[in-house]
Structure 1
Amino acid sequence: MARNPERRTALLDAAIETLAAEGARGLTFRAVDGRAGVPAGTASNYFTDRDALFGQIAGRVHERMTPDPAAFGELLAREPSRELVKDFMHDLVRRITAERSGYLAVLELRLEATRRPALREALNRTLGGDFRANVDFHRELGLPGDGQDMQVLFLAMTGLLLEHFTLPDVMTSTPEALDALVERVVERTIPKE
């Protein structure tokens, strides 16, 4: 296996873009090589098979969507409140909207996981770990609500983002409509202080 980390990252980024644009059926080593602008056969030197490629995409998407610590620091300095939860959710939506390909790739991975048990296990570990970390983060900050509220908030936000990315004209056709929905989701999910 090839060991150039920058090339591996570039191939994973190309795989994310390919997956988002073409779906799981379009995710081939040839397509990844083409999108990455590398010689044919390069991706197969980094990933033993498509399952290995699928398995590493989620981790790379996670890296791309991780918040900037400097921007996040301003939010962390504030007092815990439902308003702060709203601002965290607005930040989340902004980051994910900026990372459209990554989010669409994760949706494709979720669908593909229904047919690939190893991918399902990998996504369960990655996304389950993310969810648990978010619940712990919520508790450590002393934000209002409990683990069940966070679970409902998570499900509501993933549903909102699914609508926004797949059928935006239904409910989130403008930035203002999206912002208003984020506000309502938090107000209906997280109790007042």
Structure 2
Amino acid sequence: MRQNPERRAVLVDAAIEVLARQGSRGLTFRAVDTEAAVPNGTASNYFTNRDDLIRQVARRTRERLSPDATALAGTLQEPPSRDLVIRLLHDLVRRMRDDRSSYLAMMELRLEGTRRPELRAMLSEVFSSNIHEGIRFHLGAGLPGDRTTVLLLYLAMSGLIVDDLTVPDVLAPFPLDELIGDLVDRTLPPASG
């Protein structure tokens, strides 16, 4: 196994692009080598098998889609409120749009997970962790709402992001600012926060 971390990162990022563009059936070591513009056989020197590559893709997409810690700390200087929840949800959509490939790659892995129990188990762990971290973050930041609020926002935003990244014309008649504001108003009525 090769240990050059920079080369490994390039290969994992290339795999994300392959997944986003070609789907999980297109994810081969040869396709990753081509996308990364490295000699054929390079990816097979860095990953024991396709499952190893997929595990690293799942980890990397999570890194790429996570908020920048410094920017988030700045945002959290604002007092906890419904308006701050709205701002954080807008930031979430922006991050997903900015790294559309990572989000689409994870969607491809989700689909493949419906046919592969071991992948489904790994993804269940990743997404369960995301939900629990989201709940801890929300409650720890003193934002209005409870665990159920965070789960409802997660579910609603997941659907919104899927449509926004895959069939944006569906949401085109509904201004995003108003849509997110309405989502928060209905999930966190003004009396709550």
Whether the TM-score (by the shorter chain) exceeds 0.5 is yes
What whole-Å deviation, never above 9, does each CA across 1:1-38 have from its counterpart, x for those lacking one? 11111111100000000000000111111000000011
**Correspondence for 1:158:** 158
Within the alignment, does 1:135 sit opposite 2:157 as a pair?
no
Specify the SS of the correspondent of 1:79: coil
Q: What amino acid sits opposite 2:150 in the alignment?
A: M
Q: Shift of the alpha carbon at 1:131? A: 1.1
Q: Is the 8 A contact 1:163 1:172 kept in 2?
A: no
Residue in structure 2 matched with residue 42 of structure 1 by the alignment = 42
* 1:185 corresponds to which of 179, 183, 186: 183
Q: Provide the rounded CA distance (Å) in 1 between the counterparts of 2:96 and 2:21.
A: 16
By how many angstroms is 1:70 displaced? Answer: 2.2
Question: Mapping of 1:1-193 within 5 angstroms?
Answer: 1-172=1-172, 177-192=175-190, 193=193
1:2 alignment partner, SS class: coil
Partner Cα distance (1:103, 1:148) in 2? 24
Q: CA RMSD in A?
A: 1.3
- Once the two structures are superposed, residues 78-108 of structure 1 have per-residue CA deviations (whole angstroms, 9 ceiling, x without a partner) of 1111111000001111111101000100110
2:188 and 2:161 map into 1 onto residues whose CA distance is 18
SS across alignment from 2:10: helix
Structure 1 letter corresponding to 2:119: L
Q: Show structure 2 runs of 5+ residues with no match.
A: none
Separation in structure 1 between the aligned mates of residue 14 and residue 36 of structure 2, nearest angstrom: 5
Displaced runs of 4 or more, over 4 A: none
Equivalences, count = 191
Residues in 1 aligned to 2:187 and 2:167: alpha-carbon distance in whole angstroms = 23
Q: Distance in 2 between matches of 1:139 and 1:43?
A: 41
Q: 3-state DSSP class of the match of 1:77? A: coil
Can you give the 5+ residue segments of structure 1 that lack an aligned partner in the other structure? none
CA distance in 1, matches of 2:183, 2:22: 31
Q: Deviations over 1:59-86 (max 9, x none)?
A: 1001111212222122111111111100
Shift of 1:172: 3.4
Q: How far off its partner does 1:182 sit?
A: 1.8
1:103-133: CA deviation from partner (whole Å, max 9, x where unpaired): 1001101001111122111111211111101
Superposed CA offset, 1:130-170 (max 9, x none): 11011001111111111011111000000000111111101
Between the aligned partners of 1:29 and 1:138, the Cα distance in structure 2 is 39
Counterpart amino acid of 2:16? I
CA contact (8 A) 1:145 1:191 kept: no
Q: In 2, distance between residues paired with 1:12 and 1:172?
A: 33
